[in-house]
Amino acid sequence: MQVRELSVPGALEITPRQFADDRGVFLEWFAGAAFGEAVGHDLTLAQANCSVSAAGVLRGIHFADVPPGQAKYVTCARGAVLDVVVDIRVGSPTFGQWDSVLLDDVDRRAIYVPEGLGHAFMSLEDDSTVLYLCSAPYAPGREHGVHPLDADLAIAWPTQGRDGRPLTPLLSPKDAEAPSLADAQAQGLLPVAADVEAFVAGLRDR
């Protein structure tokens, strides 16, 4: 597999090697040894999630308190999504910046979103199926969000689906009520870069 660091430090795009024949395709969408070499520590698997989304569904921007945070290793098994990672670490040189990866059932890429970063995606096709490996279980009391349409973040969400039809963003009530990045910072909800760095360093020292 090929690993590329995104413009948000710590976030990775992973492109697997696919083996195709007249029966179909085989690939390793996660490999522990290769992951550990790229990141510097193992991925603790605490929970595996699956979401199925209609075209235009916009999920996120989600993040969790650090420690322990929630790292995610994400792929799209069916359909296509634009997956976005946002640097929400207060004090980070790239605070407020974002990057994206197209996850689909053609290239079958994955994205690694480490602790302390925000994560969101938009579905580009009905029944897009996204799989997540998570380092920590869902805990409502320490889960937060930033509005994915925050004008200051200016994320370039797609306006057309995979079939060329117009997309209208569809948010959950919770995501629609999420604060802007500035408001989340003012409320003290965002992780601090130094705290995240210390936590991740501890993972590498295990």
Encode pLDDT of 2-55 as tens digits.
Answer: 999 999 999 999 999 999 999 999 999 999 999 999 999 999 999 999 999 999
Entry pTM: 0.96
What is the CATH number that goes with domain 1-203?
2.60.120.10
Residue 112 falls in the annotated catalytic set = no
- Cβ neighbours of 159 (radius 10 Å): 10
Share of the chain above pLDDT 70, in %: 100
* Residues contacting residue 95 through CB under 8 Å, at least 6 positions apart: 87, 88, 89, 193
Residue 138 falls in the annotated catalytic set = no
Identified catalytic residue from 73, 132, 138, 147: 132
- Cβ neighbours of 114 (radius 10 Å): 25
155 touches 96 (CB < 8 A): no
- What confidence category does residue 164 fall into, taking pLDDT thresholds of 50, 70 and 90? very high
Q: What integer pLDDT is reported at residue 47 of this predicted model?
A: 97
Q: What are the DSSP calls for 72-110, one per residue? A: EEEEEEESEEEEEEEE--BT-TTTT-EEEEEEETTT--E
> What is the Cα–Cα distance from 72 to 55, expressed in whole angstroms?
22
**Tokens standing for residue 133:** 């490996």
pLDDT at 176 over 90: yes
Identified catalytic residue from 62, 119, 144, 147: 62
